[in-house]
Amino acid sequence: MSRREVEQDQGFAQFEKFLDEWSRRDFLKRAGGAAAYMAFMAGGLEFLAACAGSTTTTSVTPKKGGHIVEGNFSDIRTLNSMLSSDTASNQLIGLMFDGLTNYKKNGDLIPALAADLPKTSPDGLTYTFKLRSGLKWSDGQPLTADDVVFTYDLAYASKYKDVASPRRGDLEKYVASVTAPDPQTVVIQTTQVFAPFLANHTQYGILPKHVLGSLAPKEINTTDFNSGPSVTNGAFKFVKWDKGQQVTLARNDNYWNGPAYLDTYVYKVVPDSVAVTNQLKTGEIDVGPVDPSQFDAIKTASNVVMTEFPVPTFTFYAYNLDPSKLGGQLFSDKAVRQALLFALNRQQIVSAVFFGHGTVANSVEPPTSWSYKDKPKVLYSFDKAKAESLLDGAGWMKGSDGIRAKNGQKLKFTMITNAGNKQRESMLTVMQQSWKDIGVDATPSLIQFPQLVSQIVSIRTFDVFLVGFNWAIDPDESPLFHSRNTAAGGFNGADFKNSEVDSILDQALVTLDKTKRKQLYGQFQDIMSDAVPSPIILFNTGIWGVSTRVQGTDFGPFNQFGQRPWNSKVWVNDGK
Amino acid sequence: MLAKYLVRRFLASIVVVLGVTAITLILMDRTRGTYVPGIDLNPALRPEDIARLRAGLGLDRPFYEWYLTWLWNVLHGDFGRSMIDGSPVLSHILDRLPNTLELTGTAILLGVLISIPLGVIGALRRGSKTDHALTVVSVAGFAVPQFWLGLLLILVFSVTFEQHGLPWLPSSGATSPVGGGDILDRIEHLVMPATVLSFFYLSLWSRFTRSSMLEVLSQDYIRTARAKGMAERRVVYLHGLRNAVIPLITLVGLELPGLVSGGLVVEVVFGWPGIGKLAFERALQYDYSTVMGIVFFATLLVVAGNLLADVLYAVLDPRIRYA
């Protein structure tokens, strides 16, 4: 090894520390997008998720022509809608492929390739979609119900089991059949009543059967189509992908919603969130997500308009409630869990760690959800005295060393999160300090993100973990809180088991009536506010910077990444 | 003699390549946890789905089996497909190689062209203000981290210059995303990353040239040359420099593998679509096959670079013999 390699290694370690919002490490974040997936997030892009506030209030007639460059720090993996599981890929796919339905920015379902929202059979098991008439692929071929059937086949039919689709889990479980009685009609038969089905599973970009239909299942995983689709049905068609740099798209004249105003759409991969800010300022990029830490650096730039809105992305910590573990012994009494939450000044965390860009959580449901209950049964404001009296009442008394103990057991534990995420590291420090103030000895410990996820879903030897998560549009929260998901591989790593919660969540999933569901999720939020197995620190906001030359964007909580029904309506006022 | 030496070196190289690739694989395999390359875990995925996805990538087998299969395929010229996007690893490498060569080649060339004159000046004016100034610059070049210098240049020559209406340089990428790609455009993008990278080479090699030159200039044959009335210019360049640069060749030779892997930090900071950035990103995503392909490739070059430096040394300096 030459001396210089050693030098570079040291430089590299500093480099990592330096870019604290270093986001390329977030392998598993990237929730949301076409599938409205939920996943644990390493931190980065998810903080930028977000709602309302149209950036355009102009009455000027849109001009045809020109280009925009959208910048982001995540590279694309695949352009195949049935293989993708990350936000960046979903975003590009959303520009080129429409699904049966789409979302408005508030999460309301709207038809896309379907002419209307589907008819649901009285038993709630069958959805019938009518496609728009005259749908065409970018190569002029007609887009028919056969293409829809083919696309869904890839992710649920047994003959396509070798297709590496991350969608298969849910689709295999819920889809009985997808058929095309005629070229304009798609019938989806489900195996059971499943309330989130339309919101979760009808946005996948439809793929061209006449291009991919002849491929063997394994060939679907590796076909050139995945890195350069020759045929599309969305607002844009594929031109080229300069690997590691940018993807270039051009207008699709056959788009059902009218040809896009823009000639060219470029998705540029930039080094990190600081680069997004820099390049918005220099005009090298026209659109990009802004990290909260960069907000002040960019708000003075006269060429950039900022949009900010709440998002269903959040940071929470969870107690290990498994009675066979240390956590179970310390935290099984809900008074302890409540006391620890009362002792936290979460507003201060939002101000100091997120520069005020976020909202202290009152409920386990996000404020962006139609099921959100603003004031559930128990509300937690910062109240140190209350925290101390709760602990006293529960029998945890301060010892001579200032640490509380009960029956010889000290209130002493370790908190884990992923190294490299400065925001989470800071939060653990605040928690350590706040809890020390009430006689609780909590020590932060930083581990790598893949190890953190392993801790949550399988190993589960932690006492307390802190991580980010993102909810889909539907208010179902079974993945984190249903006892079924305490099984290995499930996301309920906290081992939270509450039979009342289980039955409410199960009932809400098979109830199609929204009013009834809202009532059930209200009860759920009340119980959760009392039990606080996994307190949420804050819900984030999404912040987007858009160049003043770009018109027609309309970012919102559910129109950030994959789903943007306004793709073809974006235009530039300088025609360049 | 040389042939025997080469054979021995070649055999040793095989061990090095095997060792480096095996260790890389073990490190990745031991740290990946529940991660499935290319798939973000979501709660809808059942354990059997995850098992199927892993098996599809060949990760259901123990790592040594994976390694042996990989090795066998590589020996047959097949580097496999990326676990993230399913496209051939070789095409990924070949896509990025020209960009990396453009950057590192320029930096090494600049480094050599500038460092030798600087080193000579430093040696000839030892102790002068110029020499001290050059020393300060060299030490700085050696001590300043590349990422920091890179960010500083971006802040000054992209952001600040643009805001003051001055001609500014693009802050990332190898070409402009729209209408770019001509020579001028590429040069504009190349200026900052190549400067940062060459600054390091320049510091290292100019110090080296200076001390080597000082040593040579104190030799008897230089005094002889001067004594017989040879012009100073001829003494310095013909007798001095020619002998002084021989050891430098080894150093530059050792940097040749850096043509492929040396620009990692600079590539990441400037979003330069090269091999280093690819390796960095794919390592974070546990793309075994791509990382292994790049590591294999880079190791071969390190081994070949070292060998080439040794051989060149022998060719240029007949006093060197291998035993």
Nearest to A362 by CA among A338, A378, A342: A378
Q: Are A468 and A452 in contact (CB under 8 A)?
A: no
**pLDDT over 70 for what percent of chain B?**
98
Nearest chain A residue to B285, by CA = A27
* Segment A143-201, tens digit of pLDDT: 999 999 999 999 999 999 999 998 888 899 999 999 999 999 999 999 999 999 999 99
Is B274 an 8 Å CB contact of chain A?
Answer: yes
| pLDDT of res. B322 | 58
| pLDDT of res. B40 | 76
Nearest to A498 by CA among A458, A465, A533: A533
| Whether the model pTM is above 0.80 | yes
Nearest chain A residue to B150, by CA = A15
The number of C-beta contacts closer than 8 angstroms across A and B is: 200
Is B162 an 8 Å CB contact of chain A?
Answer: yes
| pLDDT of res. A38 | 55
Please provide residue B304's backbone torsions phi and psi, each rounded to the nearest 5 degrees: -65, -40
Amino acid at the residue A139? D
Place of tokens 């208010």: A475
Question: What's the angle, vertex CA B116, arms to CA B114 and CA B119, rounded to 5?
Answer: 105
- Distance (Å) from the alpha carbon of A29 to chain B's nearest alpha carbon: 7
Distance between CA atoms of residues B67 and A112, nearest Å = 47
| pLDDT of res. B38 | 79
Distance between CA atoms of residues A555 and A570, nearest Å = 12
Report chain B residues whose CB lies below 8 A from the CB of A243: 92, 95-96, 273
Q: CA-based Rg of chain B, rounded to a whole angstrom?
A: 24
Report chain A residues whose CB lies below 8 A from the CB of B199: none
Residue A247 tokens read as: 């993807």
Residue A360 tokens read as: 């202290």
Residue B279 tokens read as: 């390796």
Residue B44 tokens read as: 């809808």
Range in A385-394, A462-471, B180-189, B308-317 the model is least confident about? B308-317
Place of tokens 């409205």: A36
**Residue of B34, B39, B268 with shortest CB distance to A458:** B34
Question: Pairing state of beta strands A264-269 and A67-72?
Answer: parallel
| pLDDT of res. A228 | 95
Report chain A residues whose CB lies below 8 A from the CB of B309: none
Distance between CA atoms of residues A29 and B40, nearest Å = 7
Q: Are A17 and B148 in contact (CB under 8 A)?
A: no
Helix A422-436 vs helix A346-353: angle between axes, to the nearest 10 degrees? Answer: 150
Helix ranges restricted to H, A122-195: 145-156, 168-174
Residue A375 tokens read as: 């004031």
Q: Choose, out of B40, B48, B115, the residue to mutate when testing the contact with A (most A CBs < 10 Å).
A: B40
Q: How crowded is residue A406: how many other Cβ atoms within 10 Å of its Cβ?
A: 16
| pLDDT of res. A53 | 41
Q: How crowded is residue A302: how many other Cβ atoms within 10 Å of its Cβ?
A: 8
Distance between CA atoms of residues A371 and A358, nearest Å = 19
| pLDDT of res. B301 | 82
Q: Please, what's the b/e burial string for A246-258 (b: 16 or more CB within 10 A of its CB; e: otherwise)?
A: bbbbbbbebbbee
Report chain A residues whose CB lies below 8 A from the CB of B53: 164, 166
Nearest to A32 by CA among A393, A392, A486, A556: A556
DSSP-derived 3-state class of residue A180: strand
Place of tokens 């080229």: A240
Highest mean pLDDT among B46-60, B145-159, B215-229: B145-159
| pLDDT of res. A39 | 63
Residue B315 tokens read as: 């060719």
Report chain B residues whose CB lies below 8 A from the CB of A4: 200, 204, 255, 258
Place of tokens 């050059």: B134
End-to-end distance of chain B based on CA atoms, in angstroms? Answer: 7
CA quadruple A542, A548, A549, A554: dihedral sign: positive
Contact B35 A24 (CB under 8 A): no
Nearest chain B residue to A66, by CA = B178
Q: CB-based burial of residue A123 (10 Å sphere; 0-12 exposed, 13-18 middle, 19+ buried)?
A: exposed
Q: How crowded is residue A214: how many other Cβ atoms within 10 Å of its Cβ?
A: 8
Spell out, as residue ranges, where chain A has pLDDT lower than 70.
1-39, 41-59
* Segment B257-276, tens digit of pLDDT: 777 777 889 999 999 999 99
Q: What is the mean pLDDT of residues B228-236?
A: 87
Please provide the DSSP assignment of A333-395 as one string.
SHHHHHHHHHT--HHHHHHHHSTT-EEE-SSSS-TTSTT--SS-S------HHHHHHHHHHTT
Q: Are A540 and A354 in contact (CB under 8 A)?
A: yes
Q: How crowded is residue B178: how many other Cβ atoms within 10 Å of its Cβ?
A: 17
Nearest to B316 by CA among B261, B262, B246, B252: B246
- Rounded to whole angstroms, what are the CA distances from B187 to A131, A196, A291, B170? 50, 53, 31, 10
Q: Are A237 and A138 in contact (CB under 8 A)?
A: yes
Amino acid at the residue A138? S
- Give the start-end residues of each E strand in A463-572: 464-470, 536-547, 550-551, 571-572
| pLDDT of res. A25 | 34
**Residue of B81, B86, B168 with shortest CB distance to A282:** B168
- Rounded to whole angstroms, what are the CA distances from B193 to A508, B107, B175, B264, B302? 56, 8, 13, 11, 22
**Residue of A167, A281, A454 with shortest CB distance to B34:** A454
Distance between CA atoms of residues A188 and A155, nearest Å = 14
Q: What is the mean pLDDT of residues B232-260?
A: 82
Distance between CA atoms of residues B205 and B188, nearest Å = 26
Contact B269 A271 (CB under 8 A): yes
Amino acid at the residue A217? P
Q: CB-based burial of residue A448 (10 Å sphere; 0-12 exposed, 13-18 middle, 19+ buried)?
A: middle
- Distance (Å) from the alpha carbon of B93 to chain A's nearest alpha carbon: 10
Q: Are A69 and A266 in contact (CB under 8 A)?
A: yes
Contact A488 B47 (CB under 8 A): yes
| pLDDT of res. B4 | 82
**Residue of B85, B99, B177 with shortest CB distance to A78:** B85
Nearest to B313 by CA among B223, B227, B245: B245
Distance between CA atoms of residues A415 and A466, nearest Å = 7
Residue A203 tokens read as: 């946005």
Contact A226 B277 (CB under 8 A): no
Contact B43 A38 (CB under 8 A): yes
Element (H, E) at A289: strand A287-289
Q: Mention every residue, 6+ apart, whose C-beta is less than 8 A from residue B188.
A: B169, B170
| pLDDT of res. A426 | 95
Query: Looking at this predicted complex, what is its ipTM?
Result: 0.88
Report chain B residues whose CB lies below 8 A from the CB of A11: 145-147, 265
Element (H, E) at A12: helix A3-18
Contact A166 B40 (CB under 8 A): yes
Q: Are B105 and B198 in contact (CB under 8 A)?
A: no
